[in-house]
């Protein structure tokens, strides 16, 4: 019985170590994705001042609401983005315009 328990604990420990760890978003890649997929619509008339005013007015209240908006845009425009792309664009927009914690 003791040997089986030891093997099971060893297997469990191995599986825990093999679990993927969430990586930090690639902000530079987010900027590239934004430039390639979003800027055409969002920079006319949505320029830097527009984004800053939106953040200052509280229309985009948190990092999570920003991520939800990015995901919504990706869905609406049929972008085949995975969570990594959404998170990268969200992180880039946050760095450039919103500065949420």
**CATH number of the domain to which 52 belongs:** 1.10.760
94 touches 69 (CB < 8 A)? no
Q: In the predicted model, what is the mean pLDDT of residues 79-87? A: 96
> What is the rounded CA–CA span in Å between residue 71 and residue 75?
6
> What is the rounded CA–CA span in Å between residue 8 and residue 10?
5
> What is the rounded CA–CA span in Å between residue 32 and residue 15?
35
Domain of 69 in residue numbering reads as 24-98
Q: Give residue 19's pLDDT.
A: 46
Q: What is the pLDDT of residues 39-81, one digit of tens each?
A: 887 766 677 777 777 767 666 788 998 999 999 999 999 999 9
Task: Please indicate, yes or no, if residue 60 is contained in any of the structural domains.
Answer: yes
Q: In the predicted model, what is the mean pLDDT of residues 2-26? A: 62
Task: Please indicate, yes or no, if residue 12 is contained in any of the structural domains.
Answer: no
- How many domains, the chain? 1
Residues 6+ apart with CB under 8 A from 3: none
Task: Please indicate, yes or no, if residue 2 is contained in any of the structural domains.
Answer: no
On average, the pLDDT of the chain sits at 80
Q: Which helix (H) or strand (E) holds 60?
A: none
The model's pTM is: 0.69
Task: Please indicate, yes or no, if residue 15 is contained in any of the structural domains.
Answer: no
Task: Please indicate, yes or no, if residue 5 is contained in any of the structural domains.
Answer: no
Q: Give residue 29's pLDDT.
A: 97
Task: Please indicate, yes or no, if residue 62 is contained in any of the structural domains.
Answer: yes
67 touches 86 (CB < 8 A)? yes
Task: Please indicate, yes or no, if residue 13 is contained in any of the structural domains.
Answer: no
Q: Give residue 59's pLDDT.
A: 67
């Amino acid at each position: 019985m003791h040997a089986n328990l030891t093997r099971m604990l060893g297997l469990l420990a191995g599986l825990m170590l093999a679990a993927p760890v969430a990586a930090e978003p690639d902000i530079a890649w987010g900027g590239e994705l934004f430039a390639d997929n979003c800027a055409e619509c969002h920079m006319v008339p949505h320029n830097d001042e527009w984004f800053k005013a939106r953040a200052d007015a509280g229309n985009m209240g948190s990092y999570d609401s920003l991520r939800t908006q990015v995901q919504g845009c990706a869905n609406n425009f049929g972008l085949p983005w995975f969570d990594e792309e959404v998170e990268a664009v969200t992180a880039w927009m946050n760095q450039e315009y919103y500065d949420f914690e």
